Amino acid sequence: MTKLLFKIQLSALFSRTFKSKKKGQRSTVKKILIGLFTLYIVGALLFSSGMIMHGIYTLTSSFQMPQAYFSILAFFILVLCLIGSVFSAQSLLFEAKDNDLLLSMPIPPQAILLSRFLLLLLLEYLFELFLAIPAVVVYCMNSTLSAIQIVPLVLALVVLPFLSLACSCLIGWLLSAITARMRRKTLFYTFFYLLFFAAYFYVVSNGQSMLTTLMQNGGLDQLFTYVPPAFLFGKAVYSGDSLSLLYLLLWCILPLFLVLLMQSKLFIRIATTKKSAKKRVYKEKRVKQAPPRWALLRKELRRFFSLPLYIFNSAIGIFMELFLSVFLLIKRDGIANVITYITEQELKSDQITPYLSMLIIVMLVFCCSATVTTSVSISLEGNRFWILQSAPFTATDVFIAKVGANVVIATPPLILACLITSLLLPLSGKEIALVFLLPLTAQGCFALLGMIGNVLFPRFDWTNETVVIKQSLSAFVGMIGSMALTADPLILYIQWLHFIAPLAYLLYCWIYFLLLTGIFLAYLLTAGKKKYERI
């Protein structure tokens, strides 16, 4: 039964990728395009991970601590798997909308829980591969992976996600139990996710200095103190130590077994708990009439702010922009000192500051690429989509409301970051104009791209919002596609256009995003409109 449930969930996860709703199978051309796009994205992610691991290998080699390379790899895998699955574990394990249906059937609760554990484990293996494959390639390019290291490496990589899965499921279970009768769940989840987000940014911004300090102060001993599995991973793989491998197996398998045993006994109680809180007393009041597009816009905004998972997966860029704004304010004295130093050294500050503004603008555009709420906005209608289609709304009304909600959500923090940038840096009038125009145009472009992705790849056969927000093809297209559009002009500049003045380059980028916005808008109002009406 567990195998059958896992197979059903797995097929539901990938079925919408290669099947259309009406024709059953997608055309060969669409399959090829989806495959090529997937290969491009996978290659880009593997290359990025490879660059990170190459820097870590160089750092560990400079301190003559090769064992630390594998220990740091294990630590990164644990953190990535935890972050990637902790927000899915709660909704997938305990708050799935098919819980009542499955529990009403003659299916053991343990089989239901185990099948979902396996699905989460599969996702963690995918996260692990994006780090493990480049790490092994980098190591083999600079050293030799002996036969005695291969077996411990494979076994360690197989069991390492068990530990992060146990932590994710335990946190998800605790959250589900705590918020079962909580009234303001959204506020609680938002605060909880912000803590994770702040910790993530702290590690990212201080990662290099933390690693250097770790190496200088006897890093392996400290790593054993704080993260024993990472230390055991490095020792087992690099030295081929069988005892360390055995301890690592116990560290990873035993916690998962205990968590699975505990949650299997409490699964029915948590899954069937009546999730209610004190209800508000209804007060009669006049309902104001609103235009159709305004009503749809308010509906989109209410949905966005009621789903914390939606906020932190489709609009994480707004928090990055706020973080950048705070960082610029905190470091404003340092920025002023740099500009003063440039002036004192009789360097041409008008040739230096454009590069600073270009760097910040590129960072803002990257933040915009992580704020795409439209990529799942149609899919989130779920089994209520027919109401939207039968209502007196045109496809254009729906597009304007959903894209408008994306713009309304993203614009305030973006304008704040642009304003702080223009005030802190001595920019010319043209540069200040581009500081505002380029990110705002890019944000509109990404919102339209996400809308097109969701029109082409809608998904309504979901049992919880996590499937749509984190695992649907349209979410993948919106997130990775917008990042690819951001990276392309940057790669062109680094490789071939570095001789162009920063102001001219920023102007070209603005025209580039302006043209893409026009193309996406034209497609959405013509072929996209027809596609929406046929859904």
DSSP assignments along 120-164, one per residue? HHHHHHHHHHHHHHHHHHHHHHHS---HHHHHHHHHHHHHHHHHH
Structural domain of residue 522, as residue ranges?
A: 292-533
Q: What mean pLDDT do residues 150-163 have?
A: 93
Is residue 371 classed as helix, strand or coil in its secondary structure?
strand
pTM, two decimal places: 0.69
Check pLDDT > 80 for residue 90.
no
Classify residue 8: in a domain, yes or no: no
Retrieve residue 329's tokens: 């304010």
**Of the candidates 271, 306, 329, which is a domain's last residue?**
271
Check whether residue 40 and residue 131 sit in a common domain: yes
Check whether residue 398 and residue 491 sit in a common domain: yes
- 364, 414 contact by CB (below 8 A): yes
Check whether residue 175 and residue 38 sit in a common domain: yes
Check whether residue 221 and residue 300 sit in a common domain: no
Q: What mean pLDDT do residues 416-428 have?
A: 86
User: What is the band of 278 on the pLDDT scale with cuts at 50, 70, 90?
Assistant: low
User: What is the band of 324 on the pLDDT scale with cuts at 50, 70, 90?
Assistant: confident
Classify residue 87: in a domain, yes or no: yes
Classify residue 82: in a domain, yes or no: yes
Burial 503-525 (b: 16+ CB within 10 A, else e): bebbbebbebbbebbeebbebbe
Classify residue 15: in a domain, yes or no: no
The pLDDT of residue 497 = 67
Check whether residue 265 and residue 298 sit in a common domain: no
User: What is the band of 225 on the pLDDT scale with cuts at 50, 70, 90?
Assistant: low
Check whether residue 296 and residue 172 sit in a common domain: no
Check whether residue 221 and residue 337 sit in a common domain: no
Classify residue 65: in a domain, yes or no: yes
The pLDDT of residue 402 = 94
Check whether residue 350 and residue 450 sit in a common domain: yes
The pLDDT of residue 97 = 67
Averaged pLDDT of the chain? 81
Check pLDDT > 50 for residue 487.
yes
Check pLDDT > 80 for residue 284.
no
User: What is the band of 342 on the pLDDT scale with cuts at 50, 70, 90?
Assistant: low
What are φ and ψ of residue 378, in 5° steps?
A: -75, -45
Check pLDDT > 50 for residue 349.
no
Check whether residue 239 and residue 380 sit in a common domain: no
The pLDDT of residue 82 = 86
User: What is the band of 355 on the pLDDT scale with cuts at 50, 70, 90?
Assistant: confident
